Amino acid sequence: MELFGLADCNNFYCSCERVFHPDLRNKPVVVLSNNDGCVIARSEESKALGIKMGDVFYQVKDVLEKNGVAVFSSNYNLYGDMSRRVMSLLSTYTPKLDIYSIDEAFLDLTGMGDMEFLSSYCKQMVRDITKGTGIPISLGVAPTKTLAKMASKYAKKHKGYEGACFIDTEEKREKALKLFPVEDVWGIGYRHVKKLAYHGIHTAWDLTQRSESWIRKELTITGVRTWKELRGESCVSIDEPPHKKSICTSRSFSGSGLNKLADVEEAVANFAAACSRKLREGHIVCSSVTVFAHTSRFRIDVPQNYIYRTINLVVPTNDMQELVAVAVKTLREDWKEGGFLYKKAGVIVWNTCEDKAIQGNLFDEVNREKQAALAKAIDAINHKNGHNTIRMAVQGYSRNWHLKNEYISKQYTTNLKDIIVVKAK
């Protein structure tokens, strides 16, 4: 019998902050979105206070302060590195690990022992990951990935499972399905919930009692796969997705916006550099670059302007120098003076293909081999010494365009300046 595990980090962003603020354990914590806009992560204590996902920060700020809730701005460098540590440890427990998101991963546990051994093995895994990283995890184990994801939610909710819940018998499967709301089933989109309720389907069990033809008609082929998985038939594959067709890096600027070319230019240069890095990480190149910047659509009291232009490259590339140069040149050519307050800008790279399938150009004047060697050296230095240690001059060091993050914590694991210092008396 196939067996899959789904490891899910509990309240991941909040847990990452607690690792370096142990005084906040068992206390309410929330993490805010970009520009400190709204709540995107809550500890269990914050949920108990009635704080909802997506609550606008300024609307609940008084409630948070009144209840002593610890507030943090998003610190994605920290969260990404903590995720890497969790996944690295998880990979030692199984020959196959499929990372599903920053805080979730599927483990193939097929043929690794009987259920008595696996129960002990998985509980030990939960303890070791929690102790080794400081991040508590929940593990669900079942014959299908959808059931494993369901089991992980039970493991998170009920402490009696000791962090690991198994749905390994028909009796457990039926009981779990009857207690599980259909809207929480992995693969059931929110747009289907009202339709299912109309037909009297409120639990996962109710869904499994419908015929395959009915499911296909109402929920399409995707719904059929979910239906089969809930009935114990494994048919969902979590493989590496095909390369991205496009990559966009953009940002909304705080306050009224930016009205100086130098500030917007610096932002666009950094966006292009970020796109370049993502292309190289995915081993792909792009043939087209789009640059955009626009004023606020909601400010009718100020002049409006919209910059949007696409450049088609002679040779597909993922080189930072080339993409930054193209993006900045495009912005400069389309820039108009007039006191426009640009509220958002971004760079999109698209028309992508694998970096091994590049069609060259007879009249290309760039030394591609030398360019690739330089990019590789820069990436190695930045990987060793920190993000953006080496950058192009046009990327600058100004913070005029950066996100509003008044409550951001330090980058404890990725910046030497932020390493915790312990003083012994």
Residues 90-103: pLDDT tens digits?
A: 999 988 899 998 99
Q: DSSP for 180-202? A: SBGGGSTT--HHHHHHHHHTT--
Q: What is the pLDDT of residues 385-402, one digit of tens each?
A: 777 788 888 888 766 676
Q: Please give the residue range of the domain that contains residue 370.
A: 246-395
Residues 345 and 383 in one domain: yes
Confidence of residue 420 (pLDDT cuts 50, 70, 90): confident
Identity at 211, one-letter amino acid code: S
Q: What does the alpha-carbon distance between residue 345 and residue 275 come to, in Å, rounded to a whole number? A: 14
Q: Say if CB 304 and CB 375 are below 8 A apart.
A: no
For the chain, the average pLDDT equals: 90
Q: What does the alpha-carbon distance between residue 164 and residue 7 come to, in Å, rounded to a whole number? A: 9
Residues 307 and 328 in one domain: yes
Residue that is last in its domain, among 151, 167, 183: 167
Residues 182 and 97 in one domain: no
Q: What does the alpha-carbon distance between residue 318 and residue 315 come to, in Å, rounded to a whole number? A: 10
Q: Find the DSSP H helices in 44-169.
A: 44-48, 57-66, 76-90, 115-133, 145-157
Residue that is last in its domain, among 184, 210, 240: 240
Residues 234 and 254 in one domain: no
Residues 193 and 122 in one domain: no
Buried-exposed string 206-241: b where 16+ CB fall within 10 A, e elsewhere: bbbebeeeebeeebeeebbbbbbbbbbebebeeeee
Q: What is the pLDDT of residues 19-40, one digit of tens each?
A: 999 999 999 999 998 888 899 9
End-to-end CA distance of the chain: 57
In the three-class reduction of DSSP (H, G, I as helix; E, B as strand; rest coil), residue 136 is classed as coil
Residues 184 and 284 in one domain: no
Residues 383 and 264 in one domain: yes
Closest CA to 102 of 75, 132, 81, 72: 81
Q: What is the pLDDT of residues 177-234, one digit of tens each?
A: 999 999 999 988 888 889 999 999 999 999 999 999 999 999 889 899 999 999 999 9
The number of folded domains in the chain is 3
Question: What is the value of pTM for the model shown?
Answer: 0.77
Q: What is the DSSP letter of 163?
A: T
Residues 236 and 297 in one domain: no
| CATH number, residue 195 | 1.10.150.20
Instruction: Judge whether 337 lies within some domain.
Output: yes
Residues 163 and 175 in one domain: no
Q: Which residues, at least 6 apart from 203, have a Cβ–Cβ distance to it below 8 Å?
A: 177, 178, 179, 180, 181, 182
| CATH number, residue 2 | 3.30.70.270
| Tokens matching residue 85 | 């540590």
Residues 259 and 376 in one domain: yes
Residues 156 and 191 in one domain: no
Q: Which residues, at least 6 apart from 90, have a Cβ–Cβ distance to it below 8 Å?
A: 7, 97, 105, 107, 125, 129
In the three-class reduction of DSSP (H, G, I as helix; E, B as strand; rest coil), residue 317 is classed as strand
Residues 157 and 187 in one domain: no
Identity at 380, one-letter amino acid code: A
Any idea how long the chain is? 425
C-alpha dist (Å) from residue 193 to 30, 182, 201, 203: 28, 8, 9, 11
Residue that is last in its domain, among 240, 268, 288: 240
| CATH number, residue 260 | 3.30.1490.100
Instruction: Judge whether 420 lies within some domain.
Output: no
Q: What is the pLDDT of residues 122-170, one digit of tens each?
A: 999 999 999 999 999 999 999 999 999 999 999 999 999 999 999 999 9
